[in-house]
Structure 1
Amino acid sequence: MSFDRIIGQAPIKDTLQKIITNGRLSKTYIFYGPEGGGKDAMAIEFAKAINCLDETRVPCDVCTNCRQIGALTHPDLRILYAGSKKNLEKESAGRFQIKAKDPYIPLAKNSLAKILIDSTRELKQFLSLKIFNVKHRVIIISEADRMTEQAANSILKLLEEPPEKTMFILTTSQIDRLLPTIVSRCQVIKFSPLKADEIRDELIKRGTEKIQATIVSRLAGGNFRKAMILLQEDHQALRNMAFQAIVTGVSGDYLEQFAFIETLTSGKNKSMIRDFLSLALLWFRDVFFFHELRFGHPDWEAVLTNFDRLNDIQKLALLLEDQDVEQAIAKTELLVDLVDKNIYINLILIDFMTIFRNLQERVA
């Protein structure tokens, strides 16, 4: 039952299973929601489920149709994705092999690439061919918002009069970039960001250590794709820096504070600054929970992110014992949001350090 391959999204699974059970399949769907939520993965599993020879509400993963669709090699499955005509011809087989192994990996290699009119022309030729052993031929348009105007208009004509026994599934995280006339012809199914514990559990299942999985899942913002990218980075040094920055801020050592700012801004890396502030936010939240639970809890791993650094959390809790930790959390959350806006990074970090100036100084 390979709907289990999908991380979270239980309401979507239930909705799709009911659609299959009731026999109320639409010919056109839009799977819409934030990046890394599993829209492409769900589209593939849905294609398997509606064509499974076992005729259950979920894919059996054993029959020929399930196996071929899962491998993205079924003759009645087509996936359109962004890329130049030259690169698509060279790389499609390899990209599909990677996608089949892990459907959370994007097909497009270039974030600026588009879905071209050439792809839709080839699709029309494909749709003229005879259908093989499936109930529904399936066309998945991954990141459909990346279609050029010509490609979008070409797809619109197909959606206006979809061929028999053919289903279109468009996936997108930016539905406002699709033609309104395309959206109006599709049943929209909205995905939610993944929960941190869903991402954490999947990472652990894939072999990630618990503490690393916990931290990465909190930084990923509901995006499993981002979590996989974050795993490739070393956050231990940045986590230590966030801890030291808070200690330094509380102690009022302004020279050391500016040294932190200089270190962080030397690479002019917005992603690193965002991660630094997010890690500081996790420390603040741990201190908040530490206070709320009166310095005692039978299972700290269940409530704290930095559960492997309990002594450091206690140290911060003592330093900030009479401070307004909630204010620090609110301010840091605001600063995290400001990183992606056109604001001078140094000012954001200076603002972060000023959080502590309004708090009563206590040095351990």
Structure 2
Amino acid sequence: MQFKDIIGQEKTKALLLKEAKKGRISHAQMFIGDKGIGKLPLAMAFAQYLLCESPGANDSCGTCNACVKVKQLVHPDVHYVFPVVKSAQTKVSVSDDRRQQWNAFVKQNTYFNLQMWQEFLEEMGKNAQIGVDESRSILKKLSLKSYSGKYKIMIIWLPEKMNTSAANKLLKILEEPPENTLFFLVCDAIETILPTIISRTQIIKVPNLKIEEVKSYLIKEKNLPENQAQSIASLTQGNLVEGVLMSQGDVANNQYFESFVKLMRSAYAIDAIALMNVAEELGGIGRENQKNFLRYSLHMFRESLIYNYLGEEKVNVKDEEKAFLNKFAKFINNQNITDLITAFDEAIYHIDRNANAKLLFSDLVIKLTKLIKKGV
């Protein structure tokens, strides 16, 4: 992975290059930010740059023996740790037990999330974590000498999936690592990580991608029409992974639209039975789809405001969505937009933290009836 292969993130790239050139590389760095914005590719590209035999001013050479090995995920000084579903039946307890599948998956997917990784392994719904056996494996690997004579690099993807025992076992080595040992922790939810881990790392804040960057990628790499790419990029708010998933077909988007229409009509009519039916449906579609539906709803609320104040020619929606907004948009205005955004944002937050989805959506639809009427 080279920096040039990563979409956007020019400031973060410049920061990492500056560290390397000055020789002031923190032994433990935590890449934080939203999902789907390229934190893992940045860590991988940085590792390749540091091990490159002929690094340039702005990137690794990409052709030396070290670069080739890092790109192929076989460099002996670059180690990967990631959540696994522990199973006596499959004899999986640490990342190395899934390393063959990891290599195949990462080579095919530069940008991905935990859901995609678990779908690849056919382990959706199972508890993937980083356990204490993994910590023992990390300590063992880092006790060995560097193969290249440069750095030993440990890339930990989703350290928030580390259980307490595993985290506590790594505290000492994070604070006093062996010479020329680097930890790159790639995190989606820093608030769930032990403070003692966070305090031992340098925080690298990775910003969301720009909507134009996501749009450009979808047009060039996924061959989407400009208006569809713009609509998806606006909806995903800089999350490239979600943008790619949505670009793979209109089925999910159509389902979100149908659910949104059903929910809004039921809320306006204060149809309690219909509302509870929608809440029941949404409670059973899985966490990632639930969050995507909520994001889609936020997108439609924002487009409603644009429709109201700037006119229909300024909205980024498909024809059937525009037809619905023609009647619906007037109910979204300055009387209720702030409360709607807060309610749906909070729902996403709680789903991310394993809230009971059926209870959450039941509560949300009740709030929605009041908020829609507020805009009448």
Which of the five TM-score ranges fits, normalised by the shorter chain? 0.7 to 0.9
User: Which of 194, 202, 207 is the matching residue for 1:187?
Assistant: 202
The match for 2:309 is 292
Question: Which amino acid in the other structure matches residue 345 of structure 1?
Answer: F
User: 1:282-323, CA deviations, whole angstroms, 9 ceiling, x for partnerless residues?
Assistant: 334234223433x48xxx5xx522055586277348x73xx6
User: 1:176-218, CA deviations, whole angstroms, 9 ceiling, x for partnerless residues?
Assistant: 4444443333222122333444333333333152455444434
Q: 1:27, 1:168 within 8 Å by CA — same for their partners in 2? A: yes
Q: Are positions 1:151 and 2:169 aligned together?
A: no
**Structure 1 residue 48: Cα displacement:** 0.8
TM-score by length of 2: 0.76
Distance 1:137 1:241, change over 3 A: closer
Q: Partners of 1:127 and 1:273 in 2: how far apart?
A: 40
Q: 1:219, 1:275 within 8 Å by CA — same for their partners in 2? A: no
Q: Partners of 1:117 and 1:66 in 2: how far apart?
A: 31
Question: Which amino acid in the other structure matches residue 23 of structure 2?
Answer: G
TM-score by length of 1: 0.78
Question: Which amino acid in the other structure matches residue 23 of structure 1?
Answer: G
Structural RMSD (CA): 3.6
Question: Which amino acid in the other structure matches residue 91 of structure 1?
Answer: R
Q: Are positions 1:126 and 2:133 aligned together?
A: no
The match for 1:224 is 240
**Structure 1 residue 353: Cα displacement:** 4.1
Q: Partners of 1:267 and 1:291 in 2: how far apart?
A: 28
The match for 2:217 is 202
User: 1:12-34, CA deviations, whole angstroms, 9 ceiling, x for partnerless residues?
Assistant: 11211211222222222122223
Q: 2:301, 2:332 within 8 Å by CA — same for their partners in 1? A: no
The match for 2:98 is 91
Distance 1:214 1:332, change over 3 A: farther
Range 71-80 or range 205-214, more displaced: 205-214
The match for 1:102 is 109
The match for 1:304 is 315
1:237-276 to 2 correspondence within 5 Å? 237-240=255-258, 242=260, 248=265, 259=274, 262-263=277-278, 265-266=280-281, 268-269=283-284, 275-276=292-293
The match for 1:47 is 47
Gaps of 5+ in 2: none
**Structure 1 residue 253: Cα displacement:** 5.6
User: 1:333-353, CA deviations, whole angstroms, 9 ceiling, x for partnerless residues?
Assistant: 133135346655345324434
User: 1:132-162, CA deviations, whole angstroms, 9 ceiling, x for partnerless residues?
Assistant: 3353221112222333344323322323332
The match for 1:235 is 253
Aligned to 1:205, what secondary structure does the other structure show? helix
Q: Partners of 1:54 and 1:347 in 2: how far apart?
A: 58
The match for 2:189 is 174
Question: Which amino acid in the other structure matches residue 5 of structure 1?
Answer: D
Distance 1:243 1:146, change over 3 A: closer
Question: Which amino acid in the other structure matches residue 101 of structure 1?
Answer: Q
Q: Partners of 2:96 and 2:29 in 1: how far apart?
A: 27
Q: Partners of 1:174 and 1:287 in 2: how far apart?
A: 31
The match for 2:334 is 326
Q: 1:287, 1:313 within 8 Å by CA — same for their partners in 2? A: no
Q: Partners of 1:68 and 1:234 in 2: how far apart?
A: 38
User: Which of 153, 176, 183 is the matching residue for 1:138?
Assistant: 153
- Kindly tell me the number of residue pairs found equivalent between the two proteins: 348
Aligned to 2:112, what secondary structure does the other structure show? coil
Question: Which amino acid in the other structure matches residue 22 of structure 1?
Answer: K
Q: Partners of 1:244 and 1:116 in 2: how far apart?
A: 43
The match for 1:58 is 59
Distance 1:315 1:96, change over 3 A: same
**Structure 1 residue 90: Cα displacement:** 4.2
Distance 1:117 1:275, change over 3 A: closer
Q: Partners of 1:141 and 1:273 in 2: how far apart?
A: 27
Aligned to 1:82, what secondary structure does the other structure show? coil
**Structure 1 residue 46: Cα displacement:** 0.4
The match for 1:3 is 3
Aligned to 2:62, what secondary structure does the other structure show? coil
User: 1:48-76, CA deviations, whole angstroms, 9 ceiling, x for partnerless residues?
Assistant: 11122222231232222222112211111
Q: Partners of 1:224 and 1:126 in 2: how far apart?
A: 33
Question: Which amino acid in the other structure matches residue 304 of structure 1?
Answer: V
Q: Partners of 2:196 and 2:229 in 1: how far apart?
A: 42
Q: Partners of 2:49 and 2:197 in 1: how far apart?
A: 25
Q: Partners of 1:141 and 1:115 in 2: how far apart?
A: 9
Question: Which amino acid in the other structure matches residue 115 of structure 1?
Answer: I
Q: 2:266, 2:275 within 8 Å by CA — same for their partners in 1? A: no
Aligned to 1:331, what secondary structure does the other structure show? helix
Question: Which amino acid in the other structure matches residue 107 of structure 2?
Answer: A
Larger CA Rg, structure 1 vs 2 = 1
